[in-house]
Amino acid sequence: MKNALNIVVVIVVGSLLGLFINKLGNFWFPVGGINSLINTGINTGLNPTTIDLSLVEFTLGLVFKFNISSIAGIFVAALIYKQLIK
């Protein structure tokens, strides 16, 4: 259980680090090839589903948006985590 929680934390922190890298890259390179490279990504997940119970209506969905910078952020977070647990 502890290992699964550690993996989830590394993925979340790495994704946030990748988001920061992506925003920084968009600031430094507003147009051009590098901008299109760091924004290239994959969207995967479940389409939103609406459940109507007449009294309450729920909309549920889950989408993961991975791009080059988020993958790099997860990789860097995993390396940092590996160095910290030594």
Question: What is the CB neighbour count within 10 angstroms for residue 9?
Answer: 12
Q: What pLDDT, on the 0 to 100 scale, is given for residue 57?
A: 94
Residue ranges covered by each domain of the chain: 2-84
Predicted pLDDT at 27: 83
pLDDT digits (tens, 9 = 90+) for 18-75: 888 888 888 887 777 777 777 778 888 888 899 999 899 999 998 888 888 888 899 9
Q: Are 20 and 74 in contact (CB under 8 A)?
A: no
CA-to-CA separations, 77 to 7, 17, 44, 61, 63, in angstroms, rounded: 10, 8, 22, 27, 22
**Residue 56 pLDDT:** 93
pLDDT bracket for residue 79 (50, 70, 90): very high
